[in-house]
């Protein structure tokens, strides 16, 4: 008989922390959320890890879906796992980061309904 693991009620997510710089100015990339919880709030681009994806694959997919950016090299930075950090239950989040030079070739256009828009702030 197979014994179930005790914490299958946890969810894993990815947050992408992208810093952009140009001409001495540093910005961060945020999305305006289009779904609850936190609808209409500005947030880091983030979402749930896909069941058939690695963490790196999920990070690339999430960044593309929420900002339209592709082929951005990101590194794992930190894992957040406090028990009560999300109102809908236990969410463990792996943060990825990147630093980009801003320029006209990096047009932001979310391809998912999860984000209303993405913007460098």
Contacts of 83 (CB under 8 A, 6+ apart): 90
Q: What is the CATH number of the domain that holds 59?
A: 3.90.79.10
pLDDT for res 84: 79
DSSP E strand boundaries for 1-121? 11-22, 25-33, 42-43, 46-48, 75-80, 91-101, 115-120
Question: What's the domain range around 33?
Answer: 11-120
121 residues of the chain, pLDDT tens digit each: 566 566 667 889 999 999 999 888 999 999 999 888 888 999 999 999 998 999 999 999 999 999 999 999 999 999 998 887 777 778 899 999 999 998 766 679 888 888 999 999 9
Its pTM stands at 0.86
Structural domain total, the chain:
1
Q: Is residue 6 part of a domain?
A: no
Do 67 and 118 contact (CB within 8 A), yes or no? Answer: yes
Beta-sheet pairing, 11-22 with 46-48? antiparallel
């Amino acid at each position: 008989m197979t014994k179930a693991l005790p914490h299958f009620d946890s969810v894993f997510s990815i947050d992408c922390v992208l810093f952009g710089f140009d001409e001495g100015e540093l910005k961060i990339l945020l999305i305006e959320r289009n779904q609850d919880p936190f609808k209409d709030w500005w947030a880091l681009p983030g979402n749930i890890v896909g069941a058939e994806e690695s963490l790196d694959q999920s990070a690339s997919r999430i960044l593309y879906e929420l900002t339209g950016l592709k082929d951005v090299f990101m590194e794992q930075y930190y894992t957040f796992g406090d028990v009560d950090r999300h109102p809908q239950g236990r969410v463990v989040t792996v943060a990825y980061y990147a630093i980009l030079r801003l320029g006209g070739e990096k047009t932001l256009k979310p391809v998912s309904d999860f984000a209303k828009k993405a913007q460098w702030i």
